[in-house]
Amino acid sequence: MTYSEAIGYLYAQLPVFHRVGAKALKPGLENTIRLCEYLGNPQEKFKTIHVGGTNGKGSSSHLLAAVLQSAGYRTGLYTSPHLKSFTERIRIDGFPIPEEEVADFVGQHKAFIEDLSPSFFEVTVGLAFDYFARQKVDIAIIEVGLGGRLDSTNVISPILSLITNIGWDHSDILGDSLEKIAYEKAGIIKAETPVVISERNPEVDFVFLEKAKDCDAPIRFGPDALEVADGGLTSEGRILRVTTREGKSSDLTIGLLGEYQLKNVGGVLTALKMLEKSGLPISDAAVENGFKNVVRLTGLKGRWQILQHHPTVICDTAHNEPGLRSIFQSLTKQQFKNLHIITGFVKDKDLTRVLVLFPFNATYYFCEPTIPRALPSGELAGLFNQNGIFGKVYSDVNEALSEAKRLAGPEDIILITGSTYVIAEINHL
């Protein structure tokens, strides 16, 4: 079986969330447990860190991986979804899983997969665990796919859990209140296992505190340990001014340019300190190198990524209310003449809390990703029209980007955001 045949088989035979939405979900962990048992429980053969939350879990996972790589640990990284290639989901020391490994896994276990009838995500999780075990990683960062309590990744016994924040997203699946969403995210807190929460939120903090108490799990909130302030941009990245509660200050450069990363940093740094206390040495030099070179070390894309200058083209995978709020807050601090916004969404996304965030003083280009779940760009334009925002409709993101570049002046900003799957289809990402 070739790689293209393997990927074609997985997409054709198994329900895939990014293509069909909630119908792809398989409630419960039974399938993943059975698959892992069949594979010899590979997830038990290496240390893991579990990372969940509404926003920032991808950036936080990549930062943790970059630091651990810099500290000399053979580091696995499992994230989802991918932008360009399926192999991006599974990395060791920044290198994507080889295509032949994917083909061999599917070919070797095809009969069991057909007997089990798992989801695409469940098979991907099993593949990641199996690959990390066979490659003898020292530690792996495992990003939650959706929610936490019933997510396929929640079969691991991590040495630490990190929950970034709670916001409105996937409320049709996770619950119609922040408390219910937090309950699902808190499901990754394990017995006697340290947990870090990156942001304080008085609406849901009690959910994590109660879960941690029930599990006898040590819990720390990032803002209680560290204060992180913006020191501005340099040619190497964004300067972070980090001050501990004891009053010790230091500067740290992060290679992720979005100002919203400040919300993630306190949680990541607190998690690293807890890892050190648990017997995993991590030097200051490793932290500095990992933060500064996170993009090069891990291949992270689509987070306030600047694609060109004059005009400045920025793409960001923000797609929900808290993510887009942070994006537009960051834009207010940028200097530009005119703003152009290219956006597209999936049709099962509740846009009620999202559309009101988009600014009126921008030129709009509505597009759609090439997936069955795509919200047709004409329908999206109609929803924006109801909010008093008008623009033109395009078949895809590249057509929209070409037109925006034609119309934009050298001092303008072009922002591409909305669905992750829109970002994924940018030609020169």
* CB-based contact 415:314 (threshold 8 Å): yes
Asked if the structure places residue 274 within a domain, the reply is yes
Does 24 have pLDDT greater than 60?
A: no
Strand locations in 118-271, DSSP E?
139-143, 160-163, 195-197, 219-221, 226-234, 237-244, 249-254
DSSP-derived pairing of the beta strands 47-52 and 139-143? parallel
Q: In this prediction, what percent of the chain has a pLDDT beyond 90?
A: 75
Does 10 have pLDDT greater than 70?
A: yes
Task: State the chain's maximal CA–CA distance in angstroms.
Answer: 59
Confidence grade of residue 340 (pLDDT, cut at 50, 70, 90): very high
Domain closes at, from 298, 330, 348: 298
Asked if the structure places residue 396 within a domain, the reply is yes
Domain closes at, from 277, 298, 319: 298
Asked if the structure places residue 205 within a domain, the reply is yes
Asked if the structure places residue 352 within a domain, the reply is yes
Q: Are residues 286 and 166 in the same domain?
A: yes
Asked if the structure places residue 228 within a domain, the reply is yes
For residue 45, CA distances in Å to 70, 150, 302, 416 come to 22, 22, 32, 41
Q: So what's the pLDDT on residue 372?
A: 85
Q: What total of structural domains would you count in the chain? A: 2
- Quote the CA–CA distance of 39 and 58 in Å, as a whole number: 27
Q: Are residues 293 and 322 in the same domain?
A: no
Q: Are residues 336 and 223 in the same domain?
A: no
Least confident of 89-98, 154-163, 326-335: 326-335
> In 262-318, which ranges are continuous DSSP H helix?
262-277, 284-292, 294-298
Q: Are residues 91 and 189 in the same domain?
A: yes
Asked if the structure places residue 166 within a domain, the reply is yes
DSSP 331-382: HTTS--S-EEEEEE-BTTS--HHHHTTS-SSSEEEE---SSTTBPPHHHHHH
Confidence grade of residue 31 (pLDDT, cut at 50, 70, 90): very high
* CB-based contact 381:418 (threshold 8 Å): no
Least confident of 68-77, 365-374, 402-411: 365-374
Calculate the CA 160 to chain-centre distance: 18
Q: Are residues 338 and 373 in the same domain?
A: yes
Q: Are residues 175 and 293 in the same domain?
A: yes
Q: ∠ at Cα 275 (270, 276), nearest 5°?
A: 100
Asked if the structure places residue 195 within a domain, the reply is yes
Q: What is the pLDDT of residues 156-178, one digit of tens each?
A: 999 999 999 987 665 566 767 88
Domain closes at, from 269, 298, 327: 298
Asked if the structure places residue 429 within a domain, the reply is no
Range of the domain at 338: 305-424
What radius of gyration do the chain's Cα atoms show?
21
Q: Are residues 49 and 108 in the same domain?
A: yes
Q: What is the pLDDT of residues 211-250, one digit of tens each?
A: 999 999 999 999 998 999 999 888 889 999 999 888 889 9
Confidence grade of residue 306 (pLDDT, cut at 50, 70, 90): very high
Does 20 have pLDDT greater than 50?
A: no
Token pair 């004891």 is found at 246
Q: Are residues 311 and 281 in the same domain?
A: no
Q: ∠ at Cα 52 (369, 100), nearest 5°?
A: 60
Q: Are residues 237 and 102 in the same domain?
A: yes
Confidence grade of residue 291 (pLDDT, cut at 50, 70, 90): very high
- Quote the CA–CA distance of 398 and 9 in Å, as a whole number: 28
Q: Are residues 92 and 240 in the same domain?
A: yes
Q: Are residues 239 and 328 in the same domain?
A: no
Q: Are residues 324 and 414 in the same domain?
A: yes
- Looking up residue 349, the CATH number of its domain turns out to be 3.90.190.20
**Which comes out higher in pLDDT, residue 174 or 335?**
335
- Looking up residue 60, the CATH number of its domain turns out to be 3.40.1190.10
Average pLDDT (239-263) is: 92
Residues present in the chain in total:
429
